[in-house]
Chains A and B, each alone.
Chain A
Amino acid sequence: MRHSYYEDSARERLLGLLDEGSFREILPPTERVVSPHLRQLDTPAAFDDGIIVGKGTLDGHSVLVAAQEGGFMGGAVGEVHGAKLTGLLERALDERPAAVLLLVESGGVRLHEANAGLIAVSEVMRAVLAVRAAGVPVIVLNGGQYGCFGGMGIVSRLCDAIVMSEEGRLGLSGPEVIETTHGVEEFDSRDRALVWRTVGGKHRYLLGEATVLVDDDLAAFRAAALSLIGSTPDLGLEAMEAEHARLGERLRRFGDCRDALDVWERLGIAEPERLPILDTETFLATVSDKRA
């Protein structure tokens, strides 16, 4: 039977992903390293500041893992939250694990913490790049209820690979932010079909941003993470220039599209409007040679 990644809390996801009994948490809730800012704002803090970090094994491979809890302040990155993530990534430079796994679920910077949150996200970005440069793959898993947006959306795309389910969402400005700043005519954040075909896993997979698309199943996420552990992408100048050229070409090809459906049609997919209702297996078979 499937075990939904989407429905789990961050803590349940992390424990279910790793080999049973292998997880050792760094700064667990009992340490009570909570946000110093929220108390001043008269807002309850979480004992883990909405992120669980530590080490464990994945099918015997040593990994460092972080999981963001979207239920607490939308998984937003505050000072402590960000420091835990940066610290975990920097630890990877010393420990050289087989991979760092980031179970992202975040609206981005925690606005309550203002500049401290912004700085924290930039530190996370720098740490991700340092870990990648050291040859340790950083793998993102995205399939939670709250999606991944803002600074953490950028962080995700800085990593080596992204595993997504259809339910996962990835973007810069989230749907509510777009609606608030540009109006409901620009983007209706309550239109779930629109939201998912714009920022959901299937579209991200078609655009080449999600590396792997999996079912909403903890075991499927685990298998996908395991399959990516050995990968060490080429980070040389030529490969970077080729990637930039690819992105430029993508913008040229799809820049004038008003809707994801237009993109799918231009990718040569027949009856693009049926993509959202296909199960993962059928979807992958349908679009196998059509990705951007």
Chain B
Amino acid sequence: MTNSNKDVLEQNVSDLIESGGEAPKIAGVARTRIREGLVAKFAVATAEPARVKSRRPLFAIGLGFAATAAIALVATRFVHHTGEVAPLNATVQKLADGTTYIAEAGTEVTVLGPRKVRISGTALLDVAPGKGTFVVETQHGRIEVLGTRFVVEGLADKTSAAVVRGEVKLASSDGEVVLHAGEQAVAEPGRPPVRGPAPRLSHLVSWAQQARHAEEHDIASHHGTLFARDPGVRSHPPWGMEYPLPIAKLGLDITVEDQVARVALDQTFHNDAPQDLEGMYRFAIPPDAALQRLAMYVDGKLTESAVVERMRARRIYEELVYRRVDPALLEWAGVGRLSLRVYPLKAAEAVRRLHDHGAAAGRRPDGRADGHRGAAQGLRQLRSAVDESYDHDRAQRRRRGRHISPREREARRFVRAARPRHAASRDRGDGQ
């Protein structure tokens, strides 16, 4: 090849590369998701026992991470969880530094210092951030909060920890492991701590749910009210034709899986009126949330809904109301707003429960889930589920074919209407 040809070739190569521009890159969220998936699968499955560093000054090391310490330390039993529920009289206790905890029955929490406690049993803690490393000692282990929320159990024969968010370090005389979100570890005497995935974190902390809800009662105030009205459209001063029903029960559960935070909200309302009512439940969803699903539990059996054209859905709904069959109609009511109609809310003692599944935005400053409000009342237990999925990765949603932008959603004016599969006669007979 001559020098001239070489120059041409070099120039063409340069031109080609320049014309190529930036190569396609994997989306940031997908990149993270895949990395975490690989780490969870291979780092755990083949991990060697943690390094033995019995003489290592753990506290000094912990201080290095102290600057990252944030909020919320949750401590609870999660190994051999027996499903105990925290007693209703369990209350949130507060330490001098602002850290709070909820202790399970029989648990001893001893304050050893301003940022140091000893736990024998199971407790759920919220550690105040920015005040140095928070240390939890158990009989056979020591946990240093490196950031945010985790779960710990201190028993006589072992210490366990699981991380809900952020990082913690679980150390014993035989070694130490740093746990990241979604991981758990067990430390037993004579063995280094063993780390693994914690796929059921929400279940592990569920025992403290009631106590937490009691503390976080302000959540309820964010979730609105179920309005009811007579089918006969009579007036209810001072509310007009629609009036709010009292809420009898509220439950909230949050799980995080594959970058998707899902919120399950249970709300039970009571109908004091002497006649059946129709429920009107309006709620807002986060800007990037996507509604995934509407289903109803009828006599314990899940009944899926269908997506149909708006006016057709309304006709179906009205017809079912007329026939006294249990329908539910979910309508798009503008950007970020949805309206759910359910019928009937049975009179008097009847209870009807609505169960929402939503996805935590994860963007709310307080870290709580934005969710839905539910309502209803009936002669038997009736659960309706609304799944709202909030996905940080839009590409992931497109892949699943469920991503709909607010503009697209409004344009489509989609309507989801319940399509009960049970026989109308059976429902009418169920009216009792």
Whether chains A and B associate is no
